[in-house]
Amino acid sequence: MDLKNFKQAVQQLAEEKGISQEKVLETIEMAVAAAYKKDYGKKGQIVKAKFNPETDELSFTQIKIVVDETMIKSEEEVKAEEEERARKLAEAAGELAPEESSSAKNLKNEEELKRGKRKEDAEEEFSENPEEKKVRFNPEKHLMLEEAIKIKKDAKPEDELEFPLEPHSDFGRIASQTAKQVIIQRIREAEREAVFQEYKNKEGELVSGIVQRIEGRNVYIDLGHGIGVLPPEEQIPGERYRLGERVKAIISLVESSPKGPGIFLSRAHPRLIKKLFEIEVPEIAAGTVEIKSLAREAGSRTKVAVESKEENIDPVGSLVGQKGVRVTTVINELGGEKIDIIEWADDIAKFVANALSPAKVLEVKIFERRKEAQALVADDQLSLAIGRGGQNARLAAKLTGWRIDIRAREQTEGIKTEPETTEKSAAESEPRADGRASEEKKADKEMEPKKEKETEEKGPEEKPKEKKTKKKKTAKKSK
């Protein structure tokens, strides 16, 4: 193997893939060791390659594990295992359907034999199966404790001893190809792991990238070392993305998968507002101003509650900036989303009043038991306090964490006096209604003879006319 400029190649590869030089070197050593074993190794042999960056020399050693009598399987146990393996292979071969051709049967038998061989190799691996205490002794892999003590006086079971192997300048075409494939595979795995760890540590952080492609409603953004996915539910409603456009988003989730790390982004998360203000407002970075609470309906409106740690600093003015420059920058990044900046207050009544801005609140009553606040506003401020579709009240409730009942002044004054009086009047009105009905019936009965007397006095002509008209009317109704 040509080791010329090997150190420079390792450095270049580490820089390109974003992997440490130690990891790259370890990967190459494993690949070279696998290639050496393929060409010159023996069954069960453990080969280790070691590259010396100072001398540019590559050396190979054989690893042997120290064992004692209690760790080795007896001949009877080995024989029993072989018989059991042969029986299972025979059963597997007997399960073949009679319609199968001889070539298919031979192919399946070969696969079973290969599977059995792989199983045998796995059983021979002492360190990979800690539950299996005993191993089949292999002189290429194991070394008895008595022999190990002759080489190393303080040797004990499960120790590993290294023995130098003969170096070979030419590994051959197949061995070189094997080393190349292993190196590529290992470096890809290391690269994926490095990308995963990099972005996993950035969950919840703000990142910037360029729109690479759009598939369906998913937007794929190039973040530099990885590709982030902006799903439709995490996009700002009504926002459109163009190829090559730079976009800022929050890393909401990072997952590991065989194809590489899955990096999921969000522009609808409330945390995006906070991170954008942290960039624009130096007072937040310095810790003199803090964003205490935030409520957002992406693409429409956001409420931000801020608090100052120093008396001489205006928290609201710090976020707004001179002539509104700071808040305007954030609004432009969000595509024109409205942002209300209010001052945080430890007094919940005052905080609720501030949260309902731009409406002016006259009074706030707090009901701590049910965590509810009743806000009193002027009649002309009621619609403004509630907001279009109840948005202002909804965001204020999210911001404060309290249920808010908004009422106009006239409405609230009526509620103060009406509950008791309305209940009494309703209770009293029902019996009065029944009494009036019975009195009216009695009065009607008393009036009937009086009416007859009046008709008699008026004369016989008027009385029949009234009766006829009444009969005609009743007849029409019956028809």
Structure tokens belonging to residue 451? 């009416």
- For CA atoms 312, 316, 321, 324, give the dihedral sign: negative
Neighbours of 141 (CB within 10 A): 21
Query: Which architecture does CATH list for 1-72+137-201?
Result: 2-Layer Sandwich (3.30)
CA–CA gap between residue 137 and residue 126 (Å, rounded)? 10
Count helices and strands (H / E) in the chain: 15, 15
Its CATH class, for the domain covering 280-344, is alpha beta
pLDDT at 320 over 70: yes
pLDDT tens digits, 173-191: 655 666 667 777 777 887 8
pLDDT at 460 over 50: no
Smallest Cα–Cα separation from 378: which of 351, 359, 355, 365? 359
DSSP secondary structure letters along 104-157: HHHHHHHHHHHHHHHHHHHHH-TTT-TT---B---TTTEEEHHHHHHH-TT--T
CA dist list (Å): 370 to 350, 395, 402, 403, 457: 18, 19, 9, 9, 75
CA–CA gap between residue 232 and residue 245 (Å, rounded)? 17
Structure tokens belonging to residue 476? 């029409």
CATH number for 356-436 (one of 3.20.20.80, 3.30.300.20, 3.40.50.2000, 3.30.450.20): it is 3.30.300.20
pLDDT tens digits, 413-444: 554 433 332 233 333 333 333 333 344 444 44
CA–CA gap between residue 169 and residue 397 (Å, rounded)? 75
The reply to whether 356-436 shares the fold of 202-266 is no
Looking at residue 340, its pLDDT comes to 92
Residue 298 is given by DSSP the state T
Helix (H, G, I), strand (E, B) or coil at 36: helix
CA–CA gap between residue 107 and residue 124 (Å, rounded)? 26
Domain ranges in the chain are 1-72+137-201, 202-266, 280-344, 356-436, 446-479
Spatial neighbors of 337 by CB under 8 A, at least 6 apart, are 236, 298, 299, 300, 301, 302, 331
Amino acid at 379: D
Helix (H, G, I), strand (E, B) or coil at 306: strand
Structure tokens belonging to residue 111? 């696969």
pLDDT tens digits, 221-266: 999 888 999 999 999 998 899 999 999 999 999 988 877 788 999 9
Going by pLDDT thresholds of 50, 70 and 90, the confidence category of residue 97 is: very low
Structure tokens belonging to residue 274? 């906070």
CATH number for 202-266 (one of 1.10.10.10, 2.40.50.140, 2.40.160.10, 3.30.1390.10): it is 2.40.50.140
- For CA atoms 299, 305, 309, 315, give the dihedral sign: positive
